[in-house]
Amino acid sequence: MIPVLIPSKGKARPGATPTTDLLKAAGREYTLFVEPQEYEAYRHLHADVVPIVESGRGNGYVRRWIQENYVNPRELEISWILDDDFDDLWYVPPEREVKPIRGGAEVLAKAEESVLTEEFLALEPPVAAVHFAFLGGIGGAEASRDPRPYTFAKIPVMGLLVIWERARAAGAVYEPDLPIHEDVNFAFQLFKAGYTTAQFNWLAQSGAPILSTYVKPAYRSASEWMVKRWGDWCTIVPNPKIYKGFESIPEGERIMLRRNHTRWKRHLKEFGNSERNV
């Protein structure tokens, strides 16, 4: 059984981590990683809870801690790193006339089954991380209904299945000082080494990203860090949308990180046909 690793914070109460409710309903084991001051509260609700070392360091720090202190010492070959707030997991048939089907943890098992095949593991360039599509929302599966089960070179967001053997071969690590874009940075490291990421087009998660982060100072600083490191693979552009609760922020301060898909797909072509889909 592939380990399921879930960072969590501030949700040590019943029903506050719907991802774990989905897993419990299916009898699926998981490990929660929490800040030290919340360990006692969480362990009364969950069977396997691990306290990290420092508090208040953000997403990148937690994932780097998991990678260095849990994944690597155990020499895990593959694991999930899931957010704790998936409303549900879904089958999304490519036919538009067929409605998405709520699947719960069965979708997790279906994703694992599709990845652990000789055909998938032999894809070129090799896939080192896979994630779910969004059901609706930004570029969601409901909007695209892509007929292909997978799409190559997709930036991971939220749910992520990491093939750690390949991540280690790529030298890819989570940046501990990135509270936002930590998965994008991780993916770019994979791309640089000639690996790729993929998206399950027929398997989706509901629970869209918190778009209000686009106007927070941490988003700007993280975006500037990304542009400094990755040059023409991404850039900062204006984002004039107004999100609830942030109406007072001047339009000039609303920005977003735009990824240059053409550039990094061109880069991956040096290692194989990244446009090939299955």
Residue numbers of the domain that contains 87? 4-210
Q: Where are the alpha helices (DSSP H) in the chain?
A: 18-25, 39-43, 59-66, 72-74, 105-115, 118-121, 141-144, 164-170, 182-192, 217-230, 261-269
Asked whether residue 152 is assigned to any structural domain, the reply reads: yes
- In this prediction, residue 274 has a pLDDT band, given cuts at 50, 70 and 90, of very low
Asked whether residue 235 is assigned to any structural domain, the reply reads: no
Distance CA 224, CA 219 (A): 9
Contact residues for 120 (Cβ-Cβ < 8 A; gap 6+): 114, 127, 150, 278
* CATH number for 181: 3.90.550.10
Cβ-based neighbour number of residue 29 at 10 Å: 11
Number of structural domains in the chain: 1
Q: Which amino acid is at 137?
A: G
In the three-class reduction of DSSP (H, G, I as helix; E, B as strand; rest coil), residue 177 is classed as coil
pLDDT tens sequence across 199-253? 999 999 886 555 556 667 788 889 999 999 999 899 999 876 656 656 677 777 7
Asked whether residue 262 is assigned to any structural domain, the reply reads: no
Asked whether residue 250 is assigned to any structural domain, the reply reads: no
pLDDT tens sequence across 78-122? 999 999 988 899 999 989 889 999 999 999 999 999 999 999 999
Is pTM, for the whole model, over 0.85? yes
Rg (CA), the chain: 18
Q: Give Cα separations from 114 to 5, 107, 145, 200, 233 (angstroms).
A: 20, 11, 18, 9, 30
